[in-house]
Structures are given as C-alpha cells and as structure tokens.
Structure 1
Amino acid sequence: MNPLVDSYKRTVSYMRVSITDRCNLRCVYCMPEEGLEWTPTDEILTYDELTRIITVAAKRGLRKVRITGGEPLVRKGVVGFVEQLSRVPGLKELALTTNGVFLKELSADLYKAGLRRINISLDSLNPKTFAQVVRRDIFPKVWEGIEEAERVGFEPIKINCVLQQGVNDHEVMDFVRLTLRKPYHIRFIEYMPCANWDTWVKTYKPFSAVVDEVETQFGKLVPVGGSNENDNGPAENFRIPGAPGVVGFIHAVSHDFCDTCNRVRLTADGKIRPCLFSEIAVDFRDALRNGCSDEEIEGLLDQVLYVKPEYHELDMLPEEKKLTTMVNLGG
C-alpha cells in the first residue's frame, strides 16, 4: 500500500485521536468557566468507528496513536478502547494525554489493556495556583494519580506544563528540580492563542530566555535524543547531568516545526484536521455511517494528505481565527 506521505514529502505516522470534547476541568487557557456546549453523543464517533479509521491508516504506515479529549478518561469504555487499539496490526505506540483526575482509579486497568505511555497536564506544583488555573481544587487527587501511574509501570511519565507569564512562570525551577529526584519528563509548552486573545497577549511567554534561566541555576543542560527520530516530536529535550528525569521545551508559537510535522488530528465528531491552526478538515463520519468501504476511507486519507498545508500560518491568521478551543481539536 502507498505510505501516508503528503504533498510536501512528509510522512504522516502519528494521529492524535480525540474520543470526547467533554472535560471535568475548566482550565483558563482552554475554555470559559461556565464550560461549552458539548457535541451531542450521537455525533461522536463510536469506538468501533474510531478503530476502523485507525486500522485502515495503520495499513498505510500509521505507527503512533495518542488518545486525547477533552478529557479522555471521562468517556465510558476507554479501557476497552485501549485494548482494541493495542490489537491493531502495525501500530507501534499507543499513548494517552489526561488531566490526571481519574488516573489513580484507572492506571492499572489502562496498563493491563496495553497502554504504555502517558502524558499528564500539570500547570503548577502549588495547590492554590493549580486550582486557579483549572478552576477546581483538586491537586492532591491529580498528584496521587501521577504516583499511581508511576507505581504500575508507566515509563516515561510526561508532565505537560503550559507556561504563562505572571501565573506559573515563577515555578520553572521547582519543576526542573523535580527531575533531580524523579524519572519524569517535564515538558514546558508555550501558551497557544486558543481561548481568549486578550488573555493570551498578556500572559504569553516565549521560551527564548527560559533555557538560559535554567542553565544559570543548574548549569549546562545536556541534550537528550530519542531512540528514533519521532520520539521527541516537537520537544527539545535536555537533562541536568546525573538527573533521572528530563526537561523539555515545546516552542509551539515562537518556533514552528512544520517542516518535520508527522501528525494529523482526528476529532471526536469524525473529522481529520491536518493542521492544528487551520480550519481545513476532512469529514469521515458521514462516509462511515453511509456504509463506506475501506478503499473509500483510504481515499479520504489521501484527501487529508493532499490538503495538509506546508506551514501553519499562525502569524497570518486574524485574531478571531485563532480562538478555537483545544477541547474541540483534541489537543
């Protein structure tokens, strides 16, 4: 079969798969405090429909799937879905991104079902600051979930921290110190303009100086490479000499990584978006529910490859076009 190669000769081997747009938190950079109008349940793809798209894509070279949301662990049956995907021929890596609230209860079952990689969103190590960011007083439960994930054997555990000027940027060193005693991968992510433009302008912090600040305190950081070219994705990873953990920086805004982009996003309502900051999308749901063949799914995948843009053109978008919430995109 033809590999998944786009018009710019980039091989697509990674799909982020949203299984719900619902979430139990209300992070300030993601959605308004009152929440959003959720997609009706009958418009969300079933697990079998999601698995069918992934299975066809895996025959064409898809190798990695990351389950996202919303918050994926709020959807019933997620453990069974993980088990389904773990049996898809050709998939080499299955990962999940979560806010960690239900991780203590589900870590063991997810691991048993075949999940091996997990990312947890954690924007502060201070319970009060954490509550301000997620609008829920729930830090102890999330931290217990992280510890449980470590206990059952997830490795590496990646902790994602969206850095915001004047909110949590003073905690950078605290997060870095965590890598001195834990084998966690701490990943600082630049705040992307996805929810509120005015808030983003005030709190966006580029990473140009952050690395220098870390090296001033901890000494020269040692670059860390993955076992293959796609291990790190867009992250630039480093280690403090002798530390068991890793410090990563994802320059989501200040530096694009479009020339090596190997991913697409499958939304919960059945559209594949070839670029995070683009309104381009190919609808798979109608075809699936009209009894399409696997060959027709392949044709839709070819459409995705054809329309995948060369660059995200974030700088050229008007403000209102940037305000697409992550819960609708799958992170």
Structure 2
Amino acid sequence: MLLDNHGRRITYLRLAVTDKCNLRCFYCMPEEGLNWLSRAELMTYEEMLRVCELLVKMGIDKIRITGGEPFVRKDIMQLLTAISKLDGLKELSLTTNGVLTAPHVSELKAIGVRSVNLSLDTLDAGRFFAITRRDEFANVMDTMHELLKHDIEVKINTVVMAGKNTQDIIPLVELTKALPVSVRFIEEMPFNGDGHSYSGALWDYVRIFDEIRNVYPDIQKIPDPLYSTAYNYQIPGHSGSIGIIAAYSRTFCGTCNRIRITPQGTLKNCLYDDGVLNIKDLMRDGKSNTSIVDSLRVAFNSREKDGWAAERKRKENPNFHESMATIGG
C-alpha cells in the first residue's frame, strides 16, 4: 500500500504522453498554440513504460493516459498495449478529445480499456468551432458513438465557462436520457497558457447544480465512488448520470489518490503544484530502479494537504498558470 504523509492512499497515475494537441481550445492555450516540447524533452515510450512498471509495483493500480491529445503522438497504441500488460494493473483508461480516436476504438477494447473520458464542451457545432477553433465536431461525435457501440464506458468532460457554453448545460444533461453516458461538468481552471484572462469560478459547482435543478427538480444524489472527484447525480428515467467536479473549489483534496507525470517526466503531487521531481532526468542519469523508487517515496511523503497549499508553495510566479496541455488533463 502506497501512502502519502497525510495517510492518503496513492493508487492512480495520470500520465501525459505529449503536450501537443490538434485542437486550440481557448481556455487551454492561445490560438497560435504553445511552444511545443522537442522530441528530446519528451519521455520516450520506453521511459514511460519503465516508470509505469515501477509505480505499479509500488501500489498504483490505475493508469490514465492523457495529453495534450494522446492520439497525436505516433504509435500510441504500442505504449497502451504494453502498459495494459503490466502485472498488478487493474485499470487502464484514457482522456481524449475524440478527433482521431474512432479508428482505434476496437483496439482499445481488445487491450482491456473499459472507460474513456471524452472532452466535449458543447453539442452545438458552431459553438464547438468557436471554443476549439477547429471544425472537428462530427469526428468527436463519431468517437462517442463508436465507444458506446463497443460497450466502453463514456464520461463526457465539459468545462463550464461563463459567456461561452452555459447554455449547453441542459442539452448535455438531456444527452443522458437516452444514452448511458456520464456527463461531468467541470469548474473552469486557470491553466490556460496565458491564452485568455481567467474569469474565476463564476460558475462553481453550486451554481452548476442549481442550473440543472431548476429544470430537473427531481434530480437525485447517487453514491460517489471511492476517491471520486465528482458529486454524482441521476435524473429518474435517464439512462446516464451527471457529475459535477469542483476542480477550482478543490473540495475533494482530502481523499486525493492521484499523481501526475508530465510529458517531460515531471512528477506532480497535485495539479496546482509546479512539479516535485523530474523522473526523466533520474533515468537518463543512469539511476537504478531502487534509487528512483526511493526518490519517489521521498516525493510522496511531502505532498501538500490540498490544492490551495500546493498553489501557495509554487516555486515559480504563483500567479502564472501553464496550459493544461503541458501538465496532463
């Protein structure tokens, strides 16, 4: 059992395999994109597999592959297949924007991927283009239906943004009536690569819930899974469910079981810290597995209590927030 200094069990790794993305969502990055990492700055697949194997042996039993957009990286299915075979891993999942994913769904099913998080902030093609700056709505919807056809659990991640897509909250809720999807509404966070001014939590988890309850007063609370970051609900008669994630309010830190590793190999104990250990450097310096594990344990024993404390401890300018694409969704 892998525990941190607050007695919280660590079981979940979010591994970002690239910072590159084929969308340009305004809340994530500037229109011109970011200064993408060079190939040498990225961890190789061999390095990623090595660190995943070490962490699974330490107690991690769930790995989620994120980006950027995972399917932008060449031969990503080779890495996913190798990770899926790690002894002791119970769950492999991924987060994708769905643009390039549909052709790979049968392969994902074959290697045991049971759940996929699909980023989708609107069901309106015009607003999709305005938010993402790309005309890819049809491909994303094709991916959603392909996942459902293969009986892969679909969780739709929707960032709620004032003046941009709040009118999409109810249509997305209505999607759960006929489809067995979980639509999760996420508070906007300040990880935008300085692409726009962060508006703050104008739509926090309470306001989002009130918006839904005004239309569906019979909405019911359902049990939250262990370590859930979402408050979960269901509307009677609907096939799917609804989640609300207080990502900026940070109400779930007390049960946090997750760590993140960025594409360049930086371990993040918290989404809001600026990195606590560069694992890639340790590997390229020739450190043994034992030495790397010791360094990881030291890092896990210095986790901050919550996201607010982690943000205050940032070594760099605490008011600067990198793009979510560079740290993993």
Q: Give TM-score, length-normalised by structure 1.
A: 0.93
Cα deviation for residue 153 of structure 1 reads 2.1
**Partner residue, 2:17:** 19
**Partner residue, 1:207:** 205
Cα deviation for residue 56 of structure 1 reads 1.2
Q: 1:91 to 1:101 in 2, by over 3 A?
A: same
**Partner residue, 1:272:** 267
3-state DSSP of counterpart to 2:301: helix
Which stretches of structure 1, 4 residues or more, deviate above 4 A after TM superposition?
314-320
Contact 1:80 1:113 in 2 (8 A): no
How far apart are the structure 1 equivalents of 2:148 and 2:319? Answer: 39
How far apart are the structure 1 equivalents of 2:16 and 2:98? Answer: 16
Residue 162 of structure 1 aligns with an amino acid whose one-letter code is V
Moved more, 90-99 or 216-225: 216-225
Q: 1:322 to 1:10 in 2, by over 3 A?
A: farther
- Which of 179, 183, 186 lines up with 2:183 in the alignment? 186
Cα deviation for residue 261 of structure 1 reads 0.9
- Which of 169, 172, 191 lines up with 2:169 in the alignment? 172
Q: 1:1-331 maps to which residues of 2 (within 5 A)?
A: 3-155=1-153, 157-195=154-192, 196=194, 199-201=197-199, 204-225=202-223, 229-230=226-227, 233-313=228-308, 321-331=319-329
3-state DSSP of counterpart to 1:199: coil
Contact 1:21 1:268 in 2 (8 A): yes
Contact 1:179 1:185 in 2 (8 A): yes
Q: 1:322 to 1:249 in 2, by over 3 A?
A: farther
Query: Percent identity of the aligned residues?
Result: 35
Cα deviation for residue 320 of structure 1 reads 5.5
Contact 1:19 1:75 in 2 (8 A): yes
Contact 1:165 1:202 in 2 (8 A): no
Cα deviation for residue 168 of structure 1 reads 0.4
How far apart are the structure 1 equivalents of 2:126 and 2:239? Answer: 28
How far apart are the structure 2 equivalents of 1:303 and 1:251? Answer: 29
Cα deviation for residue 92 of structure 1 reads 0.8
Cα deviation for residue 322 of structure 1 reads 4.2
3-state DSSP of counterpart to 2:159: strand
How far apart are the structure 2 equivalents of 1:103 and 1:76? Answer: 13
Q: 1:247 to 1:11 in 2, by over 3 A?
A: same
Aligned residues: 325
How far apart are the structure 2 equivalents of 1:198 and 1:57? Answer: 36
Moved more, 135-144 or 290-299: 290-299
How far apart are the structure 1 equivalents of 2:98 and 2:71? Answer: 9
Q: Alpha-carbon deviations, 1:19-61, whole Å to 9, x = none?
A: 0011111000000000111111022111121111111111121
Residue 78 of structure 1 aligns with an amino acid whose one-letter code is I
How far apart are the structure 2 equivalents of 1:292 and 1:323? Answer: 31
How far apart are the structure 2 equivalents of 1:28 and 1:67? Answer: 22
